[in-house]
Amino acid sequence: MGQDVHEQGIEREYGRRRRNRPGWLALMAVAVGNSVYQMNRDPNIFGDRARLIADTLLLWLFVWALLASWRQRTFVTADGIVVRGAVRIRRRSWHDIYDIRVEPRRNQRSGDSQWLTLLYDNDGRRLLLPHVDDGQLPQFGAEIDDLRETAARHRGMVWKRRPEVEERIRRQSGHRKAWERATSGALLVLLAMFVVTLCQVATGRDTEAVLLLVCVPLGAFAVLAALLHWHWESQVPPLGRDFRQQPPL
């Protein structure tokens, strides 16, 4: 690292080493632009409120993707680990960090990075460390070992499994999966309501776009989230599972 970086108190910075493909950003811009165009080309299909909501969501999605690509970083400082996202900055002091773990990416192509790094604090919450993965770091396993050693040195003790923290992690994992599955279910409902809306437009019937495209999916999300959180224990692995996986060097 350069001298100016050390003077700012940043001991290590993880950013994107591989640039984003321009084609990916261009494809996303075309997709968003076409969606906005399709929503607004005929003012009689959707109401003003539905178009405004859809346009706002689509444009925010594109802006968020650009900000995430430009801003996302993981910093290791003398005080702890800092994660800068698209709009938020989250900090964990060394004494608040319980563990640093690697987990395999789900449904990942063989040519992409296969591992991601997660920070768990003493409350059981997890924090993804952007760009700390085998796609960005040639010596990924050694880097993870070094981060764990740094955390242990600042804590003043080596890592030791604490059942009460593992239970918090387990509970957080169950609730997180409940949110994820409720979101997936709501998106399926949204897709179904979109088809229903198109059928109503095609047959000349009156459409309730706000009701079908906003209220019904949100209602489905609320119901699914409540049910899945109630059954959170069936969504998580048993407490005895070993989470401290080590990626291949």
Please give the average per-residue pLDDT across 180-190, as a whole number.
92
Higher pLDDT, 12 or 55: 12
Average pLDDT of the chain to the nearest whole number: 79
Rounded to whole angstroms, how far apart are CA atoms 168 and 177? Answer: 14
Phi first, then psi: what are they for 126, rounded to 5°? -115, 155
Q: Is the pLDDT of residue 242 over 60?
A: no
Was domain 3-155 assigned CATH 2.30.29.30?
yes
With 60 as the cut, is the pLDDT of residue 63 above it?
A: yes
What is the distance in angstroms between the CA of the first residue and the CA of the last residue of the chain? 23
Which amino acid, residue 211?
Answer: L
At residue 65, the pLDDT reads 78
142 or 30: whose pLDDT is higher? 142
The predicted structure's pLDDT at residue 41: 65
SS3 content of the chain, % helix, strand, coil (to 5): 55, 15, 30
In the predicted model, what is the mean pLDDT of residues 10-31? 69
Spatial CB neighbours of 132, under 8 Å, sequence gap ≥ 6: 14, 74, 116, 117, 143, 144, 147
At 131, the amino acid letter reads H
Q: What's residue 56's pLDDT?
A: 78
Angstrom distance (rounded) from CA 66 to CA 89: 16
The values of phi and psi at residue 11, to 5°, are -85, -30
Between 40-49, 100-109, 215-224, the lowest mean confidence (pLDDT) is in 40-49
pLDDT for res 3: 35
Task: Tell me what pLDDT residue 125 has.
Answer: 93
* Residue 10, phi then psi, degrees to nearest 5: -95, 115
**What is the mean pLDDT of the segment spanning 23-48?**
66
3-state secondary structure of 172: helix
If pLDDT is split at 50, 70 and 90, which confidence band does 11 have? confident
